[in-house]
Amino acid sequence: MATNITKTLGSAPVVPLVQADDPAIAVKTSRALAAGGLTVVEVVFRSDRALECLKAVADEVPEMIAGAGTVLSASQAEAAFDAGAHFIVSPGLDDGVVAIAKERGAPVYPGIVTPGELQHAYNLGLDVVKFFPASIAGGIPAIKALSSVFRTMRFMPTGGISPGNLADYLGVPAVLACGGSWLTPAEAIAANNYDKITTLAEEALQIAAQAKGDK
Ligand code: 3PG
């Protein structure tokens, strides 16, 4: 699965965040993203029913590779895998979370900002990390500086990514994919406007294709 997700992200390098407190909404949002061509979705643990939302997406939207985001502890990581997560994303680097993912043979993308955190991730055997919060942690220059030292590491910047800067981030060779919430605006969901989400997904893929061509 690790290789498949990395490969999938190579062709559709965008990871949308799904934040819902209703499984039916998480499913509708994920289907709208899939209709726009995206293949990976991160259901974030930021609501009381996040686990149910993740399970619903994993069970009912098989065209999407569903993972869990905002995973803060090893016990949350266990619960996420039990609910059907194929990967884990964390805002920070926690050895316990990484250990659970390794036990399950699944990818984990912990957030890092500093060289020390990145070196720790490297020595835990990771080769892809989240770079969070990207826009206020130095953005593209920071990723370039880190990747000049950690030459095998790939980055998934999140935090402040938008259609306006997506191409610039994806144009950095060390960037595997970008993540973010811009694809799933709360207003569109509240207005039952899932076409908007499909349109945003299509737009992101067009930007990604262009950026890939320019790399
Ligand atoms: C995350 O969890 O990755 C971030 O909260 C996403 O940040 P964004 O809302 O700026 O996309």
Catalytic positions are 42, 130
Per-residue pLDDT, 3: 56
Tell me what pLDDT residue 9 has: 87
Measured from the Cα of 130, ligand 1's closest atom is 3
Q: Where are the domains of the chain?
A: 2-204
pTM for this predicted structure: 0.95
pLDDT along the chain (215 residues), means of 10: 74 95 98 97 97 98 97 98 97 98 97 98 97 98 98 98 98 97 98 98 96 75
Looking up tokens 């030292």, which residue turns up?
149
Non-local (6+) Cβ contacts of 160 within 8 A are 133, 134, 135, 136, 139, 180
* Atom 7 (ligand 1) nearest CA: 159
Atom 11 of ligand 1 has which residue's CA nearest to it? 180
Q: In what order do the strands lie in the sheet with 88-90?
A: 154-157, 128-131, 108-112, 88-90, 65-69, 40-44, 14-18, 178-180
Query: In this predicted structure, what is the pLDDT of residue 77?
Result: 98
Whole-angstrom Cα distance, residue 108 to residue 187? Answer: 30
Residue 211 makes CB contacts below 8 A (sequence gap 6+) with 166, 167, 168, 170, 171
Gyration radius of the chain's alpha carbons: 16
Query: Would the CB of 180 count as within 6 Å of ligand 1?
Result: yes
CATH of 2-204, one of 3.40.50.300, 3.20.20.70, 3.20.20.150, 1.10.10.920: 3.20.20.70
Ligand 1 contact via 162 beta carbon (within 6 Å):
no
CB of 159 closer than 6 angstroms to any ligand 1 atom? yes
pLDDT at 142: 98
Query: What pLDDT is attached to residue 144?
Result: 98
Rounded distance from Cα 181 to ligand 1 centre (Å) = 6
Nearest ligand 1 atom to the CA of 132 is 3
